[in-house]
Amino acid sequence: METTIAQNICLNLPLGFTEVEVNVSNDTNIEELIYILINDNKVPVYLEKECYKEIEKHLRDHVDNNYNLVTDKIIQDAKSNTIDVEEIIKEWEKMIREETAEFGEKVCASDEELFALAYHKLVHSPALETMLQLEHTYAQTIRHRVDERDRQIKSLSDIQTDEMTKAVDRLEDEDMNERKINEIAARHFEDHSFLRVQLTSELETLKEAQRREYREWIMQILEQNQAKGSLPTPKSSPLSPSLSTVMSFREPCGFDNDLQNLYLNEESFTIHLGSQLKQMHNIRVLTADVIDLCSINETCLEPTPQLLQTSLALYSNDLSGLVLLTDPVVGTWFTTGFSSICQRSTEFHFPHIEDQYEAINNVIKNHLKDGNSKLLQPGDFYITRHSNLPEVHVVFHMVTDDRLKSADINSRNAVILGLRSILKVACSYDITSLTIPLLLQYEMTEEMTVAWCTKRAELVFKCVKGFMIEMASWGGSDLKNLQFLLPRGLSHEVFQSLTAMLPSIFKVSNPLILKST
């Protein structure tokens, strides 16, 4: 019950009587009110305690009187039978229904929820191989279309470049001038834009058709499995040509060979963190290109093991995340290459990457002043969800700037604090595996000396360790697997020196060797 009282309060202070009028309510902050009164009425600060006693006494008396008046009215209404019992019952029923899940209205599951349940059930059944094979075939179709789109655009660009070069060479001729050059450039731009929009629209239409057909097939396969106890094979679809047509020139690939080519240097550790009840974590340090971690080996005839892991953990409490450094503009700069990878296959479970970027931009424009989407600051991050990337379900796009190239950043840097927030989100939403760029850089530059790399790695190691210890008190899921990513251009000697400091920062588990006599 919220009430507001306008009351003249007479403060009996050692310096004399002071009468002031204040507006108070049940939740009035007395300390804040005292500060305002002292400041406005030039009351000496040393009289704060006397003011507090006087105001608290008056407020308590007036609030008690107000409650007494309300209570007396309720009692009188009850005696005179003027209370509407039915209205009170309806109000209580409404509050119970809205606040207690057990008594709430039963809402039917949405199509997204039904599809998620069906997919999760089938992906942990013998239908898994069939599902992954169909997804792989769909992806090969999209990649073929993407490559064809890029080829046509490049072909047009080459023709236009050749035409413009010849026109510029003839600029001194009578039939060629700057106005005609500008007209040619405008026509080239229009033709190029039209072709790109046309091919992209056709590609998006194909993706939506694949998405619709795949989701219908999942629901159909679940119904048949429940009815007959058998699994149908994927139907022949014009949206996915046969494997022999798409991949006749491919060679089988081996998982071990792929990892050997992808990870130049790699070392793993098992650590224990915690003061009393220690938790075990796996830490991995490796050198690789961050884009390669998100890429699929397109030369494989069969779905890769990484995609198998993505599918099995998609609707689980064991998700994988990746920290991707970016600039303040959503969907640009480094993330352009990331977006291209996402576009090379259909997203069956979440909105496509372009739609996610658009939704994020809309949120930013609604919450930041002047509708300027460039106002993200270093340390801020936004999240995208994925089901078509190897071993990555959630990507944290964290904003950085050139100040990270300095060797003087400390634990209070905005990007370091951004990592803390990312770990907190991961802990809260069942993300148990996370990849972090150890040097907060993706490429080696001249200023990144051995001393620079050592200092930066030590800072990130220590801060992440502190965040992980703090994370234990936040509740939620434990970060079981932590992966530190180093730039591909890092030398093997520097890699060894950086990994050598990890056991001294984290408590590494060492086996106990017993010798028998």
- CB neighbours (10 Å) of residue 490? 19
Question: pLDDT tens-digit profile of 474-515?
Answer: 666 778 889 999 988 888 888 998 988 888 888 765 555 666
Q: Give the single-character DSSP code of 106.
A: P
Position 9 scores a pLDDT of 54
Position 216 scores a pLDDT of 92
Position 1 scores a pLDDT of 42
Q: Are strands 481-486 and 4-13 parallel, antiparallel or unpaired?
A: unpaired
Question: pLDDT tens-digit profile of 235-279?
Answer: 545 454 443 333 333 344 544 444 444 556 888 888 877 666 677
d(CA 212, CA 237) in angstroms, rounded, equals 12
d(CA 265, CA 288) in angstroms, rounded, equals 8
Nearest to 387 by CA among 314, 290, 295: 314
Residue 340 or 507, more confident:
340
- Mean pLDDT score, 228-241: 53
0.95 surpassed by pTM: no
Question: pLDDT tens-digit profile of 363-417?
Answer: 888 776 655 545 788 999 999 999 988 889 999 999 998 888 888 888 889 999 9
Collapse the DSSP code of 484 into the 3-class scheme (helix H, G, I; strand E, B; otherwise coil) and give the result: strand
Tokens in use for 198?
């046309």
Position 243 scores a pLDDT of 36
Residue 395's Cβ-count burial label (10 Å; 0-12, 13-18, 19+) is buried
pLDDT at 187 over 80: yes
Position 11 scores a pLDDT of 52
pLDDT at 45 over 70: yes
Tokens in use for 27?
């939740």
d(CA 360, CA 493) in angstroms, rounded, equals 41
Q: Is 440 left (phi over 0), alpha (psi -120 to 50) or beta?
A: left
For 315, half-sphere exposure in the C-beta direction (CA atoms, 13 angstrom radius) is: 15
Give the residue ranges of DSSP H helices in 277-413: 290-294, 305-312, 335-342, 353-367
Question: pLDDT tens-digit profile of 109-123?
Answer: 778 888 889 999 898
C-alpha pair distances (Å), 213 with each of 67, 86, 219, 243: 64, 52, 10, 18
Position 251 scores a pLDDT of 40
Place of tokens 């990849």: 435
d(CA 83, CA 92) in angstroms, rounded, equals 15
Nearest to 241 by CA among 142, 380, 356: 142
Position 256 scores a pLDDT of 46
Residue 61 or 244, more confident:
61
- Mean pLDDT score, 419-428: 91
Determine which helix (DSSP H) or strand (DSSP E) holds 384, and give its type and residue range. Answer: strand 381-385
Average of per-residue pLDDT values in the chain: 80
Could you tell me the pLDDT band of residue 322, with boundaries at 50, 70 and 90? very high
Position 460 scores a pLDDT of 92
> Which of 83-92, 178-187, 248-257 has the largest mean confidence?
178-187
Nearest to 11 by CA among 26, 33, 28, 29: 33
Cβ atoms of residues 289 and 497 within 8 Å: no
Could you tell me the pLDDT band of residue 18, with boundaries at 50, 70 and 90? low
160-164, 306-310, 345-349: segment of lowest average pLDDT: 306-310
Q: Are strands 279-287 and 265-273 parallel, antiparallel or unpaired?
A: antiparallel
- Mean pLDDT score, 118-135: 88
pLDDT at 339 over 90: no
Cβ atoms of residues 498 and 454 within 8 Å: yes
Position 397 scores a pLDDT of 92
Position 367 scores a pLDDT of 74
Residue 32 or 338, more confident:
338
d(CA 390, CA 297) in angstroms, rounded, equals 10
- Mean pLDDT score, 77-99: 81
Residue 242 or 24, more confident:
24
d(CA 487, CA 491) in angstroms, rounded, equals 9
